Amino acid sequence: MELSPFDTEQIGIKTLEKSLMKSKSKKSLKIGLPKETSNDERRISLTPGGVSILTANGHEVLVEKNAGIDAHFPDREYEEAGAEISYSAEELFSKSEMIVKVAPPTKTELGWMQPDQILLSALHLGHTSGDFLQALINKGVCAIGYEFIKSEDGEFPIVRMMHEITGSMSVQIAAHYLENSSDGQGIMLGGISGIPPATVAILGAGITGEYAARTALGYGAQVFVMDNNLAQLRRLENALDRRIITATANHRYLTTALGFADVVIGAAMTEGERAPCWVTDPMVQSMKPGSVIVDTVIDQGGCISSSEPTTHSNPVFTKYDVIHYCVPNIPSNVARTATYALNNVIVPYLIDVGDTGGIQSCLWDNTALRNGTYTYKKHLTKKALADQFEMPFRDIEVLIASQI
């Protein structure tokens, strides 16, 4: 079958499929893909293309009915890829050796988890409790968190992809809320001949900030990026051919930038910590009426003092005549793109678990998954979590080496 050059979604998965289609794995896994029940979560971790790769390698995949419907992947496509459709979430949990999902298990799902099951999902540090961790430990669940998966090159591949989506989407969202129909200023980001473009101020020069800057430049906006990390600012200036204006994020520059900005993208963050609050209420009050704030780090507390968490169903509020968009889970609103992104990272890991003969051998060989593991053999294996919840800690490498 020939691919259309415009069929961009399929190109990535076809390339992945070509490299991963091979002889069957040493160990066949029973992988369960439940439907997400968390509010506003529309993503799923595997596409039908990803499922076809797994089944071709000898794995069994159970997909809960309508699990992919919000990302526009119907059950029929999963069945054609070799998956079995499960009509009961409880049954899916009971039959699966490994559960692969986006959000952490709910209290009900936690009750369905089996002893020694493998869980691959996000942990959502801000909403984690000691009771949740203890329940996983008591059941002997091997839990691997998306946000902890770190490859040998120091990258967090899943976190990075979601940050890329968030950065790009933040500008697309801001452009929409600048329009009259959204009570914005009624201006275009890029302007036209003889009319200057809008000004976008981006707080933070990390991955989210970089992709926000790239997208804003693509619209034709004038882009300012502020951070206190000069190395990051220098890197971004070079990456974008000095088409952006950079400044340190001190009070003077922040106050000046917000005074003339039409859009402010909040992307200041430190991985695993609360976001630094750089923008005060008086700074927001100085902004133009109808300007837009998109706080992309609201799930880590936000970097703008006037921000409050919102939802996809009710995404904005107006304060000081400034429109605030503060939805914690921006990638969920482009669920199909986000699902492809998750799938392209996760499928090779699942293949690796089978090829190495099981989770213990895989954790020894695979640095990324070992880094991602936070409970294993009834022990908490992330020191940061142990310190946070005052729980005992065991090093994952010691546990694997001792073959406990």
pLDDT digits (tens, 9 = 90+) for 318-366: 999 999 999 988 999 999 999 999 999 999 999 999 998 888 889 989 9
288 vs 148: CA distance, rounded Å: 40
383 vs 400: CA distance, rounded Å: 16
pTM confidence score: 0.89
Q: Contact 351/53 with Cβ under 8 angstroms?
A: yes
Q: What is the pLDDT of residue 399?
A: 87
Express each pLDDT in 64-80 by its tens digit: 999 999 999 999 999 99
- Measured from the Cβ of residue 190, the count of other Cβ atoms closer than 10 Å reads 17
Q: Which residues pair with 200 in a beta bridge?
A: 223, 263
Phi-psi bin for 242: left (phi > 0), alpha (psi -120 to 50), beta?
Answer: left
Whole-number average pLDDT of the chain: 91
Domain with CATH 3.40.50.720 in the chain: 8-155+334-401, 164-333
Encode 69-108: b = buried (16+ Cβ within 10 Å), e = exposed: ebbebebebbeebbbeebeebeebbeebbbbbbbbbbeee
Nearest to 158 by CA among 169, 170, 150: 150
Q: Contact 321/293 with Cβ under 8 angstroms?
A: no
Q: Hey, CA dihedral for 83, 89, 94, 96, is it positive or negative?
A: positive
Nearest to 349 by CA among 31, 44, 34, 75: 31
The set of residues, in sequence order, having a beta carbon less than 8 Å from that of 289 and lying 6+ positions away, is 185, 321, 322
Ordered alpha helix ranges (H), 307-358: 335-355
The residues that are catalytic are 124, 299
SS3 content of the chain, % helix, strand, coil (to 5): 45, 15, 40
CATH match of 8-155+334-401 with 3.40.50.720: yes
Q: Quickly state the pLDDT bin for 25 (edges 50, 70, 90).
A: low
Q: In the 8-state DSSP scheme, what is residue 62?
A: E
Q: Quickly state the pLDDT bin for 1 (edges 50, 70, 90).
A: very low
Q: Which CATH architecture has domain 164-333?
A: 3-Layer(aba) Sandwich (3.40)
